[in-house]
Amino acid sequence: MGNRWVRTVERKSDAEASIGAGLPPIPSLEVVYLTDPAVLAELLPPPLTPPAEPRVHVRVTDIDLHFGAYHYKELVGYIAVDAVYDGVTGEYPLLIPIDLESAISISREKHGEPKKLADLELTRDGDHVEGRITRNGVTFVEIVGDVTESLPVPEPYPATQWWYKFMPAVSGSGFDGDPLLVRLDQTRTPASVEKVEGKLVLRDEPTAPVVDLPVLETVSILYTTRSSVNRASVVGPVDPVAFEPFAHTRYDH
């Protein structure tokens, strides 16, 4: 028997390194709204800069997959704002709530995704749709509405996200090593897009203060199914002193 404390390292090909490749379309209830540009600008860590339009993205996604006899199930939320780096406008997620504990650590350690444990629900009964995200007994995101029409399905399109990967210092102050800016390049492939007439309700929850981004104008509410292929890459180190006020662990903000 080999030494079980030492694992065999397998190098992945470029195709195997892609995130989400080969997975079927999954449903999401999504809201895009405009917020106060000054508030949005204040919460962007350097080197991100404010976008042309202060857009906020809120969604609840139901990932329910079968691989032979194996059943994988998780509900994932997403709360992000538009942000610009090096002339590219992407989405900077403030919080990715998820109901699967085992998915949190690897996402944070490997990619810097700001995942936190939460209770989520996404339901559809005929044309009626509801999505909720709850932490500490507070449903701080609630989307409720009715599908009113099917919209044209767009061709696959590119999207970008910005993440920050960091390791809190052993000393308790700062970081061990420089924080890294991570870029996620996506190709999103919609299978269906439906317009929803409804509302987004935000409530105050201190560990997920999305309510601090006021809804000034609702751009869209959609119920969509889509797949995506994603590739993450490190852009480079960021100023640790400038970034520290924006660094939150899985248990705090």
Specify the pLDDT at position 141: 98
CA-CA-CA-CA dihedral for 246, 213, 75, 162, to nearest 10: -40
Residue 7 has pLDDT above 60, yes or no: yes
> 29 lies in a domain?
yes
Residue 125 has pLDDT above 70, yes or no: yes
State the pTM of this model: 0.92
Q: How many domains does the chain have?
A: 1
Specify the pLDDT at position 35: 98
Residue 31 has pLDDT above 70, yes or no: yes
> 102 lies in a domain?
yes
Contacts with 94 (C-beta within 8 Å, 6 or more apart), sequence order = 43, 79, 80, 81, 114, 210
Output the domain CATH number for residue 82.
Answer: 2.40.400.10
Q: DSSP 3-state assignment of 160?
A: strand
Specify the pLDDT at position 248: 83
Contacts with 64 (C-beta within 8 Å, 6 or more apart), sequence order = 26, 72, 73
> 111 lies in a domain?
yes
Task: Report DSSP letters for 216-244, one per residue.
Answer: SEEEEEEEEEEEEEEEEEEEEE--HHHHG
Specify the pLDDT at position 17: 59
Do 165 and 184 contact (CB within 8 A), yes or no?
no
Q: What's the average model confidence in pLDDT over 221-231?
A: 96
> 1 lies in a domain?
no
> 3 lies in a domain?
no
Specify the pLDDT at position 21: 66
Structural domain including 228 reads 23-246
> 50 lies in a domain?
yes
Region of poorest pLDDT, from 46-50, 107-111, 136-140, 229-233: 107-111
> 253 lies in a domain?
no
